[in-house]
Structure 1
Amino acid sequence: MKKTILLMVAMLMFVVVGRVIAFTVELDPITPLTGYTSMAEWNTDGDFENWAYNPHLIDVQVSGGNFIAKDDGVDPVMSLNIDALTPPDSRMELATAIGTVFEVRMQFATNTLNPRVDFWATINGAGPGSFPPMQFAAAGGSIPDVPTDGAFHVFRITLEAGDHYIGNLNALRLDPVADASPIGETFKVDYFRIANVTNRVVVLQVDGTPLPSYTSLAEWNTDGDLENWML
């Protein structure tokens, strides 16, 4: 039996305030993603893995290894506030770079009328509203359409250029269905993964605003007192 593999690749480039932003979009890439950090797998029933959702997602559940929901036709959003996670959590230590990959595996209802899947990454504190979304799928454009066959598909975005998307990763937002989608269309998200990332950049501020409260690890105000520090 022959296995049919569908691969669609699109290169998207646009300009925001004079800056070129470019990324590659792939549908069902042939090469599996390796060396990734999982932002969610949803393998445990009832465990949302810190992802939240707004009231426009209905009948929401984590079951059978998937985040499952329906939309109410307004503005459905699911999101992960990375900065609010509790350490140690590997998802808190990521920064994006040229070549960073975002990958999501999703299933939409057969003959879905959903025209697009929007995605934002909050970078260096700037997120939705600061710049346009990246899109895993969108009807009528250079990006692959949302599949309507009722099967799971892998959507992959690879960053090629763009200052807006490069830096410390603070949050993720996925709009799994469009604002004007028919009410009640079911979708499932199997996982959300990121690869080719670096460690977060720590900003050192010199002679800045004094800390309002702190724990002193050493002051060395007494001659000869190393305060338990060792050479």
Structure 2
Amino acid sequence: MRLKQIYMRKRMQQIRHHLAPVLENMGMKAYLGTKAGCYYVEFETPEGRSPLALAFPPNPDGGRPSWSEAFTEYTDQRFEKLGKTGWKHRREWGQICLPLVREGEGPVDVEELFSVIAHKLRHYGITPFERVDKELKSQTLAHIFWAVGKEIPSLAIVRIPIEDHEFPDEDWAKWDALTFMDHEGRRIHMCHAHGYQKGPIYADGEKIGEIDATHSHYYSASAKLAYRLAHGQVSDKLLIVTDIW
């Protein structure tokens, strides 16, 4: 792992050196992060972010992050309203991933490679940061809301403290939650927070199940569960979403 980090630091030095003119002209800085096992390089200004990122996937042989394996990732993200709740979710409308070096092209031409990256950065420009007071960050809950919002008229969005958290009063230490009254008159909270694999489901404060956010194909199961709770087609036993479908 340490060897990979050393090589990635060298890649960042290359990026900052070769892209210096376009970064300076656009007022951007390059930042390194990780996501889904990949090293990601993103470009930001104080006012916004480029929709273009560079990704270095994990090498199956455990080798160094390589330009021959790297790709550009263009992501179209815009806020969408969540009904009439006053909340919004930063929705991913589309994504395009393209390799920087085509298979069989031979040795990497570094100057040409960075010329392509610089052109794309100028072409896509900067997407301004849009700050909203009520942002639902959980993609899982957003998709559940869009699936059942019209079927559950009382559906609302709130934040509730994460149980036993060290800083319960901070917004970042709270669950985002979809809340509604179930068929028995109980107050339901379906909870999740960005970055968590699972979130609890409460009925009048008592945990009765979990939302599984490990894969997008669980969204529909969670939406069906919300519908069943609201309309009286579910038992009181502990509900683990992945177990009932």
Q: Normalized against structure 2, the TM-score is what?
A: 0.25
Structure with more helix by fraction: 2
State the TM-score, normalizing by the size of structure 1.
Answer: 0.26
The structure with more strand, counted as a fraction of residues:
1
Which structure is richer in relative contact order (CA contacts within 8 A, separation 6 or more)? Answer: 1
